């Protein structure tokens, strides 16, 4: 009886130790991408190339392991050139053609179909096909990015595609991060530290979160402030420590202390006329990308804010204000869109024209 009692006490001590260790791991200094998701996805199929066949001048590669008919194609021919006239390539899902992309705007098609990884997964009753491939238009560290093409295959007759690039490769890019019941994904970008040595491998990264939509992804923000993690980690970003954060839940920094929520930009004055910042109509500063569409210049801030509301009522949500004090009197310029690529801005300009709204393409970086 005494022996059983000793064994029982020993088991209790062991269980107590395991519980403490689990708690320490949960609130530890080191993180993985999987630890950031509040609801992981469930992989239901590994998708692999099974065979290939030639039809005329086109080579098809047929994949197995997916619940949908999935294959890639590559058109052969002496008339094609890798640089000046690339071979047409793409994918077919249930007979519908899709192209390879590497950006959220899906503005520039990829001309290679070297698939690194493909998986089918479930999330909250929906099914998705993830395809990861090499990035082709790169030099140096930019070649560390992978191209994601995600397909919502829940309705086999209406397949939706989401594209983005990320340094991290793996299924843990996807999950639930903000508890809104929609599939989200994380994008990991290279962001060197201030003391980084030129020419050395970059080991600091910026992690941002997005919701995968039917048209284009939507970055997750809190009253205009982007959720993000600034981390340093290994080359593949499998393991990292947090340096600075503004996240959905409490995280710990490299010292093991709860990281103070820090907005990506320092505190600022809303609509400060000294600098050409981009603001939303509420005065929250927005990081400028490359291209936008300039609509009007007004002499009054309230008039510009009212005009923004009018444009938003026409279902153009991404409306911004920038102050110009270098053209004489101070004016408040109203813009629609904040795009990385010119193609994305041109498509938005076409939508504005269709809606009867005049505007001009505007290079945010070159002009300011």
* Percentage of the chain exceeding pLDDT 70: 86
pTM listed for this prediction? 0.68
71-89: average pLDDT: 90
Q: Are 337 and 293 in contact (CB under 8 A)?
A: yes
Q: Based on C-alpha coordinates, what's the Rg of the chain?
A: 24
| pLDDT surpasses 50 at 9 | no
pLDDT in tens, 179-212: 999 999 999 998 888 777 777 888 999 999 999 9
The residue that leads in pLDDT, 261 or 175, is 175
Q: What is the mean pLDDT of residues 24-45?
A: 81
pLDDT: which is higher, 302 or 29: 302
pLDDT average, residue stretch 254-259 = 87
Residue recorded with tokens 């997916």: 66
What residue ranges define each of the domains in the chain, with the CATH number in brackets?
Answer: 39-246 (no CATH), 278-367 (3.30.70.1070)
From 286, 292, 284, 322, select the one nearest 304 (Cα to Cα).
322
Rounded-to-10 torsion of CA 349, 350, 352, 354? 170
Burial (CB count within 10 angstroms: exposed 0-12, middle 13-18, buried 19+), residue 237:
buried
3-state secondary structure of 84: coil
* Range scoring the smallest mean pLDDT among 84-88, 103-107, 199-203, 324-328: 324-328
Highest mean pLDDT among 22-31, 148-157, 217-226: 148-157
Q: Which helix (H) or strand (E) holds 308?
A: helix 301-313
How many CB atoms are located within 10 Å of the residue 107 CB? Answer: 18
310-346 pLDDT tens trace = 999 998 989 999 988 665 567 889 999 999 889 999 9
Burial class, 292, CB count within 10 angstroms (exposed 0-12 / middle 13-18 / buried 19+): buried
Share of the chain above pLDDT 90, in %: 56
What is the rounded average pLDDT of the residues 167-176? 97
Local confidence band at 288 (pLDDT 50, 70, 90 cut-offs): confident
The pLDDT assigned to 204 comes to 93
């Amino acid at each position: 009886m005494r022996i059983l009692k000793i064994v029982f006490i020993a088991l209790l001590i062991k269980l107590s130790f395991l519980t403490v260790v689990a708690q320490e791991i949960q609130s530890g200094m080191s993180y993985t991408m999987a630890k950031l998701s509040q609801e992981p996805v469930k992989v239901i199929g590994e998708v692999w190339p099974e065979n290939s066949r030639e039809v005329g001048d086109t080579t098809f590669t047929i994949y197995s392991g997916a619940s949908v008919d999935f294959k890639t194609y590559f058109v052969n021919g002496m008339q094609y050139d890798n640089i000046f006239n690339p071979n047409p390539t793409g994918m077919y899902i249930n007979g519908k053609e899709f192209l390879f992309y590497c950006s959220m705007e899906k503005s520039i098609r990829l001309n290679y179909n070297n698939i690194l990884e493909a998986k089918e997964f479930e999330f909250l009753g929906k099914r998705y096909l993830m395809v990861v491939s090499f990035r082709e238009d790169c030099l140096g560290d930019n070649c560390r990015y992978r191209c994601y093409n995600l397909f919502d295959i829940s309705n086999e007759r209406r397949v939706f595609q989401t594209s983005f690039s990320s340094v991290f490769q793996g299924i843990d890019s996807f999950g639930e991060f903000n508890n809104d019941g929609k599939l989200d994904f994380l994008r990991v970008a290279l962001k060197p530290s201030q003391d980084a040595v030129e020419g050395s491998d970059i080991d600091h990264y910026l992690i941002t979160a997005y919701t995968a939509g039917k048209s284009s992804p939507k970055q997750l923000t809190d009253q205009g402030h982007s959720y993000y993690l600034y981390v340093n980690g290994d080359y593949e970003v499998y393991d990292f420590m947090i340096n600075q954060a503004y996240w959905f839940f409490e995280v710990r920094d490299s010292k093991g202390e709860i990281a103070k929520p820090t907005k990506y930009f320092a505190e600022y004055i809303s609509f400060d006329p000294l600098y050409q910042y981009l603001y939303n109509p509420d005065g929250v500063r927005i990081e400028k990308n490359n291209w936008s569409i300039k609509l009007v210049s007004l002499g009054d801030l309230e008039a510009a804010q009212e005009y923004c509301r009018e444009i938003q009522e026409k279902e153009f949500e991404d409306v911004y204000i920038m102050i110009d004090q270098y053209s004489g009197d101070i004016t408040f310029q109203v813009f629609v869109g904040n795009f990385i690529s010119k193609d994305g801005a041109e498509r938005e300009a076409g939508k504005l024209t269709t809606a009867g709204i005049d505007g001009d393409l505007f290079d945010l970086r070159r002009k300011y």
